[in-house]
Amino acid sequence: MPNNTNETLLRVEHLCQFFGPVKAVNDVSFDIKRGEVFGLVGESGCGKTTTGRSIIRIYNITSGSIYFKGQRICAGTLSYENAIREARKALRAATSPEEKERLRKTIEENRAAIRSAKHDHKHSDEDYAKGLVAHLEKERDEALAKAGADAVAIRKEYAEKIRIAKKTRLITNIQMIFQDPVASLNPRMTVREIIAEGLIIQGVRDQKYIDEKVYEILELVGLTRDHAGRYPHEFSGGQKQRIGIARSVIMQPDMLIADEPVSALDVSIQAQVINLLGDLRDRLGLTILFIAHDLSVVKYFSDRIGVMYYGEMVELATSDELFAHPLHPYTRSLLSSIPLPDPRTEKKRTRITYNRLAEHDYSVDKPSLREVAPGHFVQCNDAEFARYQAKLKEQA
C-alpha cells in the first residue's frame, strides 16, 4: 500500500449539519489517514451523503470544524453561539465579581472563535493561495540569485506559475465522484471540455498542455484519445462513470469523495469501476472517502468503515474488525440483512431488527463515541461500554 504513513489527511471534528429542524448530521467526528479508503455506510437519509457534501463545502456547515492537510477548511459557529448564550444566562444570575469576570472572558473567547471560524470558512483558500505564492516567490528569488544570464526566462516561468498559484484553491485537492453518471455530465459539452473544465477554471491557458493532460487522463481511466471529441450520450453507463472519474482525477487531488460511484451501474460494469478506483488509488496515492450502501462492495474496498445512523456515527472500526465483531446493535442489524450469493444459507437467514428506543436506555446516561478496543469505536454509555468490552474479550 503506497503512502502508508500515519499522516492525518482529513479530520472531521464535531460536524453538525442542520437543515432547519432536521439534524442531517449531528456531531460526527472521524479522521482519514493519507492513502487509506474510508467507507461510510448507513441507510438512505442517515446523512452519509450530506457528510461528503459538507466536506467539499457544497453546504455551509452548522457547527464543528473540518481540517484538511492541517488547515481548517470548513467551520461552523453554532456551538460557539450556544456557549455565548449559556454564558449570558449565567452572567445575569451571577453575583460574585470573579465569576462575572470569568463569564465575560468566556463570551469574549467564543466571540473570537466565531470570528476565526468565519474567517477560516471563507478565506481558507486565499490563505492557502497566499502560502503557495509566498513559497513560489521565495523559490524564484533563490533561483534568480543563482542564475545570472537567463533571469528573464526564469522570471517568465515563475510569473505564469504564480498567476496560477493565486487562483489555486485548497478545496480542489478534494474531488467528488457522483452517483448518477448520466445526470452529472453536461450533455452539451464534449468529453474534452468536461474533463478540462477544472484546469481552465484554475487558469491554465496552454491549450496544448491541456490536451496532453486530457489524453493522459483518458488513457489512465481506460478510455482512448478518440473519445475526447464525443458527447456523453455516446457512451455506456460504465464509460460515463469513467469520464466522471477522469474529471475529478485531472486536478491531481489528494482525496476523492466517491458518493455511491457504482450503485447506478450494471453488475459487470461495477467490477470494472471498482477495479479502476483501486488502480488509481495505487498509482496516484489517492485517499478515498467511499460512500455506499452495498456492504459487500464497501467491505471489499475499504480499510476502515464508519457506520452512520440518523445523522450520528454509531460504530467505526477497520473493515475486518467491524465485520468480525460488530458491537452496536444497529451494525449487527445492518450486517444481518446483507444478501449473499448463496441460496442455502440465504433462505435460512434471520434478520435482526433494530429499534433504537427498545435497545438503549439513554434517559440518564448519555452516549458518546468511545474506543472499546484499539481502533474500534462504538457509540455507547458507561453500562454499554462495559458490556461491549466484556463481549469482545469473550469473542477473543
Q: Which residues of the chain form contacts with another protein (CB under 8 A)?
A: 42-45, 236-238, 266-272, 274-275, 278, 293-297, 299-301, 323, 333-334, 336-349, 351, 354
User: In angstroms, rounded to a whole number, what is the distance separating the alpha carbons of residues 27 and 76?
Assistant: 12
Residue 225 C-beta: closest distance to another protein, Å: 19
Residue 264 C-beta: closest distance to another protein, Å: 9
Q: Between the CA of residue 124 and those of 47, 171, 359, what are the distances in Å?
A: 25, 9, 43
Residue 263 C-beta: closest distance to another protein, Å: 8
8 A C-beta contact, residue 218 and residue 228: yes
**359 SS3 class:** helix
258: its cell numbers: 466517491
Residue 67 C-beta: closest distance to another protein, Å: 30
Residue among 71 and 333 whose Cβ is closer to another protein: 333
User: In angstroms, rounded to a whole number, what is the distance separating the alpha carbons of residues 239 and 217?
Assistant: 13
**Selection from 353, 356, 359, 357 nearest residue 383 by Cα:** 359
Residue 368 C-beta: closest distance to another protein, Å: 24
DSSP secondary structure code for residue 25 in this structure: E
Phi, psi of 175 (to 5 degrees): -125, 160
User: In angstroms, rounded to a whole number, what is the distance separating the alpha carbons of residues 313 and 93?
Assistant: 37
Residue among 342 and 394 whose Cβ is closer to another protein: 342
User: In angstroms, rounded to a whole number, what is the distance separating the alpha carbons of residues 216 and 218?
Assistant: 5
User: In angstroms, rounded to a whole number, what is the distance separating the alpha carbons of residues 246 and 217?
Assistant: 6
Residue among 271 and 373 whose Cβ is closer to another protein: 271
Residue 261 C-beta: closest distance to another protein, Å: 14
Residue among 172 and 302 whose Cβ is closer to another protein: 302
Residue among 45 and 229 whose Cβ is closer to another protein: 45
Residue among 25 and 196 whose Cβ is closer to another protein: 25
Residue among 347 and 393 whose Cβ is closer to another protein: 347
Residue among 158 and 309 whose Cβ is closer to another protein: 309
Residue among 158 and 354 whose Cβ is closer to another protein: 354
8 A C-beta contact, residue 345 and residue 352: no
Residue 61 C-beta: closest distance to another protein, Å: 23
**Selection from 71, 68, 1, 57 nearest residue 32 by Cα:** 68
Residue 393 C-beta: closest distance to another protein, Å: 23
Single-letter amino acid, residue 79: S
For the purposes of burial, counting CB atoms within 10 Å of the CB of 91, is it exposed (0-12), middle (13-18) or buried (19 or more)?
Answer: middle
Q: Which residues contact 333 (CB under 8 A, 6 or more apart)?
A: 351, 352, 353, 354
Residue among 79 and 379 whose Cβ is closer to another protein: 379
8 A C-beta contact, residue 246 and residue 217: yes
Residue among 101 and 266 whose Cβ is closer to another protein: 266
Residue 371 C-beta: closest distance to another protein, Å: 25
User: In angstroms, rounded to a whole number, what is the distance separating the alpha carbons of residues 163 and 176?
Assistant: 25
C-beta neighbour count of 27 within 10 angstroms: 17
8 A C-beta contact, residue 276 and residue 221: yes
First-to-last alpha carbon distance for the chain, in angstroms, is 28
Residue 378 C-beta: closest distance to another protein, Å: 19
Residue 233 C-beta: closest distance to another protein, Å: 14
Phi, psi of 379 (to 5 degrees): -80, 120
